Amino acid sequence: MNEIKVFSPASVANLSCGYDILGACLDGIGDEITVRKTKNKEIKINKVSGQKLSKNVRKNVAGVSAVAFLNDIKVDCGFEIEIKKGIKPGSGIGSSAASAAGSVFAINELLGKPLSNKDLIKYAAEGEKAACGSAIYDNVAAVLLGGFTLVREKNDIIKLNSPIGLAFTILHPQIEVKTSDSRALIKKVVSLETMVKQSANLGAFVSGLYTEDYELIGRSMKDIVIEPLRSILIPDFEKLKKICYSNGALGFGISGSGPSVFALSNGIIQAKKISQSLEKKYKKLNIPFDIHCSYVNNLGVRIIDLK
Ligand code: HSE
C-alpha cells in the first residue's frame, strides 16, 4: 500500500456547555487528503486545492502535524501530501482540525497503523497550535474518534455515547473569524456561581447522551460564559436562535470559535426544516452563507481509496 485518500470531516466544538471540552463529528463536509509514500525521507505538500493555503510543511497544519508525528516514530521513507479543502479556514467548523487530523491518520494507515487514532490526537493538536497559537484538542478528538468526544485533559480523551438520531444544522455566514481573535475575547476568570451553572449543564449534557434523553441534551446546551462574549461576532445571533427554537431545535449555539452557528435536532427532517427557516432569514441580510445538515458521524475520519 503506497497511496491513500481519506475523507476528514468538519466538526463542532464546545456544544455550548463544554468550551474546549466537547466535540462532535459531522458528515458530508470535510477535506480530502491524499498521502503517498516516497523513497526520499522528507515530507512535502505537493498540492493544495479549494482554498489558498501555504504548501510549506512548517506553515500548513497538515504538514505541522505530520512532522510532529514522524519526529516520534522511526520510518525509512517520506510522504507527499495533497489537500483538497472542503472547509473554509476561519469558519468555526474545524477546518484546521480536519487537515491536521487527516494527514496523521493517512500516514498512520500507510505505515500499517502503529498508533491508535486516540494516540494520534496529540500530533493533530500540534497542527491546531500552529493555526491559532493554542493546542486545542476538542475538534481533532472529534475527527479522529468520531461521534461526541470529551477532552478531560490532553492525555485523557473520551469518546462518548452518540445517539444515532441527533442531527446538526450548520449555518456558516461567510465572514472570517480567526480562532485566535475569538479566543482573545474570552474573560480568563469566571465567578463560582457561573462555574457551578456551566458545570451542571456539562454534566447533564453527558448524562443525556448516555440515557439518549434528547430533551435533557437540549436544555443542557446553555453557555453563560463564552456565548455572551462571542455572539457579537455573528450577525443576528439572537434572531437565529429564536428561529431555531421556534422550529423545534433541541439546542442552538456557536460552533467552535464561530462565525458558524449550529442547531441540534431530533432527526434530519427537523434539521432540514430549521435549515430552510434559517436560509429565509439570512437571504435578507445580504451576507453570503452556506447551510449544511448532517447526522452525527460516529466513524470520524475514514479511508476513501487505497492503492
Ligand atoms: N474550543 C475552541 C474555541 C475551538 O472555542 O476556541 C476552536 O476551534
pLDDT score of 151: 98
For residue 20, report the distance from its CA to the centre of ligand 1, in Å: 6
pLDDT score of 204: 98
Backbone dihedral angles phi then psi of residue 81, each to the nearest 5 degrees: -120, 135
Cβ neighbours for 69, distance < 8 A, ≥ 6 positions apart: 104, 107, 108, 120, 123
Do 3-160+298-306 and 166-295 have matching folds? no
DSSP for 116-139 reads -HHHHHHHHHHHHHHHHSS---HH
For residue 179, report the distance from its CA to the centre of ligand 1, in Å: 7
pLDDT score of 1: 84
For residue 62, report the distance from its CA to the centre of ligand 1, in Å: 18
Position in ligand 1 atom list of the atom nearest CA 254: 5
Per-residue pLDDT of the chain (307 residues; tens, 9 = 90+): 899 999 999 999 999 999 999 999 999 999 999 999 999 989 999 999 999 999 999 999 999 999 999 999 989 999 999 999 999 999 999 999 999 999 999 999 999 999 999 999 999 999 999 998 889 999 999 999 999 999 999 999 999 999 989 999 999 999 888 999 999 999 999 999 999 999 999 999 999 999 999 999 999 999 999 999 999 999 999 999 999 999 999 999 999 999 999 999 999 999 999 999 999 988 988 889 999 999 999 999 999 999 9
Closest residue to atom 1 of ligand 1, CA basis: 20
Cα gap 270→248, rounded to integer Å: 7
For residue 14, report the distance from its CA to the centre of ligand 1, in Å: 7
98-114 burial string, b = 16+ CB within 10 Å, else e?
A: bbbbbbbbbbbbbbeee
Alpha helices in the chain (DSSP H): 61-72, 95-110, 117-132, 138-145, 179-184, 192-211, 214-220, 227-230, 237-246, 268-283
For residue 110, report the distance from its CA to the centre of ligand 1, in Å: 30
Cα gap 219→208, rounded to integer Å: 10
Cα gap 186→197, rounded to integer Å: 17
- Is residue 34 in contact with ligand 1, taking CB distance under 6 Å? no
Q: How far is CA 138 from CA 15, 176, 221, in A?
A: 10, 20, 16
228-261 burial string, b = 16+ CB within 10 Å, else e?
A: eebbebbebbeebbebbeebbbbbbbbbbbbbbb
Cα gap 282→51, rounded to integer Å: 24
pLDDT score of 168: 98
- Is residue 143 in contact with ligand 1, taking CB distance under 6 Å? no
The three three-digit cell numbers of residue 285, written as one number: 441580510
- Is residue 95 in contact with ligand 1, taking CB distance under 6 Å? no
Cα gap 229→194, rounded to integer Å: 14
- Of the residues 34, 149, 169, 179, which is catalytic? 179
Backbone dihedral angles phi then psi of residue 39, each to the nearest 5 degrees: -75, -40
Domain at 166-295: CATH architecture: 2-Layer Sandwich (3.30)
11, 17, 19: which to mutate for ligand 1, most atoms within 8 A of CB?
19
Beta bridge partners of 37: 79
Domain at 3-160+298-306: CATH architecture: 2-Layer Sandwich (3.30)
Map out the domains of the chain as residue ranges: 3-160+298-306, 166-295
- Is residue 22 in contact with ligand 1, taking CB distance under 6 Å? no
Q: Is 215 a catalytic residue?
A: no
Q: Is 169 a catalytic residue?
A: no
Cα gap 228→72, rounded to integer Å: 41
Cα gap 52→68, rounded to integer Å: 23
Position in ligand 1 atom list of the atom nearest CA 183: 6
pLDDT score of 146: 98
Closest residue to atom 4 of ligand 1, CA basis: 256
- Is residue 178 in contact with ligand 1, taking CB distance under 6 Å? no
- Of the residues 128, 149, 169, 227, which is catalytic? 128
pLDDT score of 285: 86
pLDDT score of 203: 98
Q: What is the pTM of this model?
A: 0.96
pLDDT score of 74: 85
- Is residue 20 in contact with ligand 1, taking CB distance under 6 Å? yes
The three three-digit cell numbers of residue 109, written as one number: 494507515
15, 139, 150: which to mutate for ligand 1, most atoms within 8 A of CB?
139
The helix (run of H) or strand (run of E) holding residue 44 is strand 43-49
Query: CB–CB of 133/50 below 8 Å?
Result: no
Integer-rounded Cα radius of gyration of the chain? 19
